[in-house]
Structure 1
Amino acid sequence: MKNILVPTDFSAEAHHALRAALQLAQRVGGNVTLLHVLPIPDAQGSANFSAFGGPTNGAELPNAYGIDRIFVVRLMEVTHQRMQQLLAEAAQMAPDVPVHEVLDQVEVDEAILKVIEQRHIDLVVLGTQQHEALERFFASSNTEQLVRLAPCPVLAIKHATNLDAVRDIVFASDFSAEADQAVPGLQQVRQLFPDARLHLLRVTDEAAGPARQQIDDFIARHQLTHAEAVLMEAGSIEGGIEDAARKLGAGLIVVPTHARSAFSRFFQASIAEKVATEAAQPVLTFHL
């Protein structure tokens, strides 16, 4: 996870995401790309502008849109200043981490997916609000959409977070046959947090014995160390994940997901989306 993308709207949540991304980049010798999306359509609905206030690719706005152009150029100047401030802060927090800036003027999800492809992004760190908060630029709907669509893992950050202090990680699964496909992603998490205790969580209303044995078999099969089985009874899977993370004092929740309906109910994207938007802890989601 060396190429890390942080979409920013200059909010407190996005700032928390940047700090978390810098901490991860320091761990792996990686780099960070800061993306800001301008929410202003032009006459074509899709023009892009450089970080220095001018249209890219030789694009020019029609004269009829002179006032709009002045406004857009001024907005670009202000945005560039704010991006430079973020770059300066990043240089203070992690002077050894290269940080790049990208500005775009399309839909937020489209811009993020484009940068993921163009820059070979391994991880998106997204500042987001909890579900019950008032919607803003990165509201819950944006997070849910990104969890569904992003081809790489997505880390949702809601509060000021010190990832260097993560000592307990909750990995939620039903530990069915499909769960083995999540092991490569889980191993990446273990590489990032080698000293953290891994709590393998199953939310269940079944008998404890068979469910615990299923987790123990998973641990043995994949030779997981510093790992333990955890069972939680709850009215919903996502509610049980949140309750378990809170009781265990987890600093990170990991939820694998898959869009294919042939997979078990646990891996439905809706569960990962709800946990990513509702849990107070940082939530890492990835596709099987």
Structure 2
Amino acid sequence: MKNILVPTDFSAEAHHAFRTALQLARRTGGSVTLLHVLALPDQPRTANFSSFGGPVGSAELSGTHGIDRIFVIKLMEATRQRMHLLLAEAAQLAPDVPVHDLTDQVDVDDAILKVIEQRHIDLVVLGTQQHDAIERFFASSNTEQLVRLAPCPVLAVKQAADLDAVRDIVFASDFGDEADQAVPGLRQVRQLFPEAQLHLLHVTDENAGQARQQIDDFIERHQLAPAEAVLMEAGSISSGITDAARKLAAGLIVVPTHARSAFSRFFQGSVAEKVAFQSAQPVLTFHL
């Protein structure tokens, strides 16, 4: 997870995501790319990535006239200033981490997916909003859609997070056959947080003894000890995961997902999407 993308709308949540990405990049020896999508007046949408390193070019202003043109210039100047502030902050907090900035004028999700492909992004760190946020950039639909569509892992961050203080990690699964595919990603997380206690969580309303045996077999099969088996009864899988993480004071939740799974209700994408939006803790999701 060395090549990290942070979409930003300059909100508090996006700022939390940026700081979290800097912490991760310091741990992995990686770099961070900041992406902002400009909300321009109605005009033909074309993919137009640019850096704020130079003056406003004609490409950025194509199709704009009069008042709209003045608005675009002022918007880009304000955005440039905001980006420069973030770059300056990064230079103070993590001087060894390379940080790059990009802007685009297309749909938010399209822009993010394009950067992931073009820049070979390993991880997206995304600021998510509180439940009452309605009209802001990172509404729940954006978070859930990116968790579902992004080909790389997505780390959803709602509050300020101190990754150096992570002492407990919850890995949620049903520990069926598909769960074995999540082990490489889980090992990567453990390498990032070698001192953290791993809690293997099974949310179930079924036989507790059978569920515990599945976790024990999973630990032994993949040599994951030391790890703690945790069982949780809940009305829904997503609420069970968030409740368990809160009770365990977990600093990170890990939820594998399979958007088109026909075998396991757990690995349907909706579970990971709901947890990423609902949880107060950072939530890492990745596809099997």
User: Structure 1: how far apart are the matches of 2:230 and 2:197?
Assistant: 12
**What percent of counterpart residues are identical?**
78
Q: Quick check: 2:242–2:279 contact (8 Å CA) kept in 1?
A: yes
Alpha carbons of structure 1 residues 59 and 198: separation in structure 2 relative to 1, 3 Å = closer
Number of corresponding residues: 286
Q: Do the aligned residues in 2 keep the contact of 1:41 with 1:47 (CA within 8 Å)? A: no
1:41 deviates by 4.5
**Cα distance, 1:77 vs structure 2:** 1.0
Superposed, 1:204-223 pairs within 5 Å as 204-223=204-223
CA distance in 1, matches of 2:232, 2:47: 50
Instruction: Find out whether 1:248 has 2:248 as its counterpart.
Output: yes
For residues 142-195 of structure 1, the C-alpha deviation after alignment (integer angstroms, 9 at most, x for no partner) is 100100100000000001110110000000000000100111111111111111
In the TM superposition, 1:92-131 aligns within 5 A as: 92-131=92-131
- The runs of 5 or more residues in structure 1 that have no matched partner are none
Aligned equivalent of 2:14: 14
- Contact 1:196-1:226 within 8 A present in 2 as well: no
Tell me how far 1:43 sits from its aligned partner. Answer: 2.8
Which structure 2 residues correspond to residues 10-49 of structure 1 after superposition, within 5 A? Answer: 10-46=10-46, 48=48
The alpha-carbon deviation at position 273 of structure 1 amounts to: 0.6
4+ residue segments displaced more than 6 Å: none
Aligned 8 A contact 1:125 1:154 in 2: yes
Q: Judge conservation of contact 1:17–1:127 (CA < 8 Å) in 2.
A: yes
- Aligned ranges for residues 136-155 of structure 1 at < 5 Å? 136-155=136-155
- In structure 2, runs of 5+ residues without a counterpart are none
After superposition, the Cα gap between the structure-2 partners of 1:132 and 1:225, relative to the gap in structure 1 and judged at 3 Å, is farther
Mapping of residues 188-203 of structure 1, within 5 Å = 188-203=188-203
- Corresponding letter in the other structure for 2:257: T
**In the TM superposition, what is the alpha-carbon distance from 1:59 to its structure 2 partner?**
6.8
Q: Distance in 1 between matches of 2:118 and 2:7?
A: 15
Q: Secondary structure at the match of 2:129?
A: coil
Letter in 2 for 1:137: F
Q: Residues of 2 paired with 1:40 and 1:164: CA distance?
A: 39
* Match status 1:69 vs 2:79: no
Counterpart of 1:54 in structure 2 is 56
Provide TM-score, normalisation by structure 1.
0.95
Moved more, 124-133 or 74-83: 124-133
Distance 1:248 1:191 in 2: 21
Q: CA RMSD in A?
A: 1.5
